[in-house]
Amino acid sequence: MAAIAQETPQEHHGPVHHQFENIVQQNEAYAIGMWTFLVTEIMFFGALFLSYGLYRWRYPVDFSRVHEELNINLGAFNTTVLLVSSFSMALGVHFAQLKDRAKVLKALSVTIACAFTFLVVKYFEYGAKLEHHLFPGANFRPEAEHLHGGNPNVAQMFYSLYFAMTGLHGIHVLVGILVIGFLMLLWVKKNPLVTEDFMPTEMIGLYWHFVDLVWIFLFPLYYLIPK
Amino acid sequence: MSSIAAPTSLPGEEPIEQKNYLNVKTTLSSWLLTGDHKRIAVLYLFSIFFFFILGSIAAGLVRYELTSPTGRIMESETYNKVFSAHGIIMIFFFLIPSIPATFGNFFLPIMVGARDLAFPRLNLASWYVYVVAGILMLTSLCLGGVDTGWTFYPPYSSMYANSQVTLTILAAFLAGFSSIMTGMNFIVTVHKMRAPGMTWFRLPLFVWAHYATAIIMILGTPVVAITLSLVLVERVLRIGIFSPELGGDPVLFQHLFWFYSHPAVYIMVLPGMGVVSELIANFSRKRIFGYEFVAFSSLAIAALGFVVWGHHMFISTQSMYQGIFFSLLSFLVAVPSAIKVFNWTATMYKGHVVLAAPMLYALGFIGLFTIGGLTGLFLSSMGTNIHLTNTYFVVAHFHYVMVGGAMMAFLGGLHYWWPKMFGRMYADNWAQVTALLSFVGFNLTFMPQFIIGWMGMPRRYHYYYFAPEFQAYHIASSLGASVLAVSLILPVFYLGHSLKYGPKAPPNPWGAHGLEWQTDSPPITSNFESIPIVTDEVYDFPEERTEPDTHLAAAATGNGKAKKGGS
């Protein structure tokens, strides 16, 4: 195999890491890497969605009755909050492409604020469930009114899935807050990794949209079950 | 240039040495904080070696226990823990990371002509996650181990087992993440880091196999991760998703588990097939027969691997019609596997076959994998499956594929790339004897298990006083295991010896073809002085090089011709 010297190894500076030839290759690698990661996330949540599908198909009436305990207004509010956060994230990426640092920071602040709001609302929702002893396990002994006529065992199954899926989603929101916070820190410090290259901002944006999208499925599956 | 087996000194060798990846820095922190894929591969090599020893000790205990119809040293519960430890360690901590995390990490970037994997820090993180998982596993062993088998079926694992299920599941969960990270890195590297001129159809088959493996890693592993963590929360918080008490379905766990764990057997064997493709082509000095077919058969195995999981559940409550489909689809996997075996055989036909140690392992692989694969067809037929499931026939079948396949390929790859990785030649005659010994030992271990399995010896039993006539077979099997053990201990000595006393390896001791043989032995940290431009086809052996009658001569001429000039 002929190996001809293509170019002498050069000192890479700025945002290009040593293993890459140039910024284009690096950015394409980031993009494929992020999408690959999102594929793993889809498979991760996928198993839970499958379990949900199986049990809802098996116990449609009880799922419908038990779900009435969930607060549709809070769910809808949180959905709106996340949609706004995704919009501001998209704006952040847009301004990152334009290298408009002040506007990037503003947009990301809105995203983080929305993420916090989401978690606070979730905290009160979880709190209400715990108060009514709706957390599955040894302490699951809700009053009949909170079951809305559903079978207590299926209700426990429903809440197992509910806490597993929304909990996992909540962890993703929390990670999103940390990651976006770190990204903002880099922007504040004018780190060339983000100011010279919009790709890191865009990749974190992709992650955030994914987190948002999971909720877009969770909301109707738990809060809007028809009779 | 040097010859490979002669331990004589090398008078012609230039004394000027460039710093290679091993001696460029030697502090502990330079190893523990390295981003170099080669160093991470070496870290992985030693970590999986450690777990391989542990798993082997457990296997030895199992084999010793079974030499008597009433058992020898263990209570039933202890035996359950020992075979569980053997399975969990060998699968999650040896077989799954074995070839991808060592040879894949080391050679995939070099083979595509890159300086490193796309994400070096992710690569290092994957090793740390593996180490943390390993420490959890060791802790759980020290606290008494786990008795669920490696499959962790609920409700036993989630509600009844009184062993260290929680810690062990956490360990398996984390080990899964290290494999996901490796898979992501491989996919991005193959897509985006190929050198100029390195088209998809110039990629060595080792890279194709790892690409297919990486696809399984990223699609399958997350599913088992979430499934195991559901068992975990079920155990800790008493949340019930698989709990039959709450109307849940334990068979759902089996579906989700095998959705990963069947493809996982291809995570174990596909990289091995990649190694064997390299070995067969390079030691036959021929372009592999039907290169495209072998490449695509890897992808076909990855794809089909995801639609056959139900054949692990023929005797669960799965419907008969589902069973028929899974049975048919399982037969289909035999097609791409057979394509590989036939094409390897056809490659050797009229090739200049050199029976060096790595090639002996590769030939062993072909034989053993064929037996393992064909007995798989017995098991994927629903009728015979009902008779054979949960017997030693299954045990023998998957050991033929995993040990006879994946481990033979691992050892073959280790012998093939050892000179490149550590820059030293080992004693080839010792290695050849060892390869033969492992083949004999392996067959002696597992062939009797096919027979007693067919006769009805159930797996996971530590006594068989109900059928003392099995004892002869069990003793033969344990004897074989001892031979196998010797053949696994020997390399530790002669490979270890070569590290200090072996002659220095030339860049291309085997006269092999591929970018990794154009680098120094061992390679420099950035692999290449400059990124190569690839102008010729894969496994393109010039006609004039097909003359030599011994591998020594092959090595000598191969060196002269294949080099990039001046080292």
Contact A59 B114 (CB under 8 A): no
Q: Which amino acid is at B151?
A: T
- On whether the CB atoms of residues B74 and B82 are closer than 8 A, the answer is yes
Number of domains in chain A: 1
Q: Would the pLDDT of B553 be above 70? A: no
Contact A44 B225 (CB under 8 A): yes
ipTM for the complex? 0.91
Question: The domain spanning residue A55 has which CATH number?
Answer: 1.20.120.80
Whether residue A41 lies within 8 A of chain B, CB to CB, comes out as yes
Over residues B425-434, the mean pLDDT reads: 96
Which among A1, A32, A37 has CB closest to B518? A1
pTM of the model: 0.92
Q: Which amino acid is at A134?
A: L
Contact A25 B564 (CB under 8 A): no
Q: Which amino acid is at B390?
A: N
- Is residue A29 included in any domain, yes or no? no
> Model confidence at A14, in pLDDT bands (50, 70, 90)?
low
Q: Which residues contact A227 (CB under 8 A, 6 or more apart)?
A: A64
Which among A9, A21, A54 has CB closest to B526? A9
Contact residues, chain A, for B256 at CB < 8 Å: 47, 50-51
| B233 min Cα distance to partner chain A (Å) | 9
Contact residues, chain B, for A168 at CB < 8 Å: 226
- Is residue A109 included in any domain, yes or no? yes
Of B514, B503, B524, nearest in space to B567 by CA = B524
Calculate the alpha carbon distances from B391 to B386, B394, B455 in Å.
Answer: 10, 6, 9
- Is residue A72 included in any domain, yes or no? yes
Domain edges within chain B: 34-562
Which among B117, B192, B528 has CB closest to A32? B192
Query: Given its phi and psi angles, is residue B538 left (phi above 0), alpha (psi -120 to 50 degrees) or beta?
Result: beta
Q: How far apart are the first and last CA of chain B?
A: 11
- Is residue A120 included in any domain, yes or no? yes
Q: Which residues contact B482 (CB under 8 A, 6 or more apart)?
A: B441
Structural domain span for residue A147? 43-223
DSSP B160: I
Identify the residue whose tokens are 């690839």: B534
For residue A138, give the chain B residue with the closest CA. B238
Strand partners, B458: B391
Q: What is the pLDDT of residue B8?
A: 41
How does DSSP assign B485-500, residue by residue? HHHHHHHHHHHHHHHH
Q: Would the pLDDT of B543 be above 80? A: no
- Tokens in use for B196? 């100029």
Q: What is the pLDDT of residue A137?
A: 87
Per-residue HEC secondary structure of B1-23 comes to: CCCCCCCCCCCCCCCCCCCCCCC
Contact residues, chain B, for A18 at CB < 8 Å: 115-116, 526
- Is residue A36 included in any domain, yes or no? no
> Model confidence at B16, in pLDDT bands (50, 70, 90)?
low
Q: What is the pLDDT of residue A15?
A: 78
Contact B246 A25 (CB under 8 A): no
| A13 min Cα distance to partner chain B (Å) | 16
Which among B239, B526, B530 has CB closest to A160? B239
Q: Would the pLDDT of A50 be above 70? A: yes
> Model confidence at B562, in pLDDT bands (50, 70, 90)?
very low
Q: Would the pLDDT of B547 be above 80? A: no
Q: pLDDT digit string (tens) for B52-80?
A: 999 999 999 999 999 999 999 999 999 99
Q: Would the pLDDT of A19 be above 60? A: yes
Contact B535 A2 (CB under 8 A): yes
- Beta carbons within 10 angstroms of residue B366's beta carbon: 18
As a CATH number, domain B34-562 is 1.20.210.10
Query: Which of A11, A19, A147, A199 should be substituted to probe chain B, the one whose Cβ sees the most B Cβ atoms within 10 Å?
Result: A19
- Beta carbons within 10 angstroms of residue A66's beta carbon: 28
Over residues B479-485, the mean pLDDT reads: 97
Contact A6 B187 (CB under 8 A): no
Contact residues, chain A, for B180 at CB < 8 Å: 40
**What are the two backbone dihedrals, phi and then psi, of residue B391, each rounded to the nearest 5 degrees?**
-115, 175
Contact A164 B534 (CB under 8 A): no
| A143 min Cα distance to partner chain B (Å) | 18
Over residues B154-172, the mean pLDDT reads: 93
Q: pLDDT digit string (tens) for B266-286?
A: 999 999 999 999 999 999 999
Segment 8-27 of chain A within 8 Å of chain B by CB: 8-9, 17-21, 25
- Is residue A57 included in any domain, yes or no? yes
3-state secondary structure of B424: strand
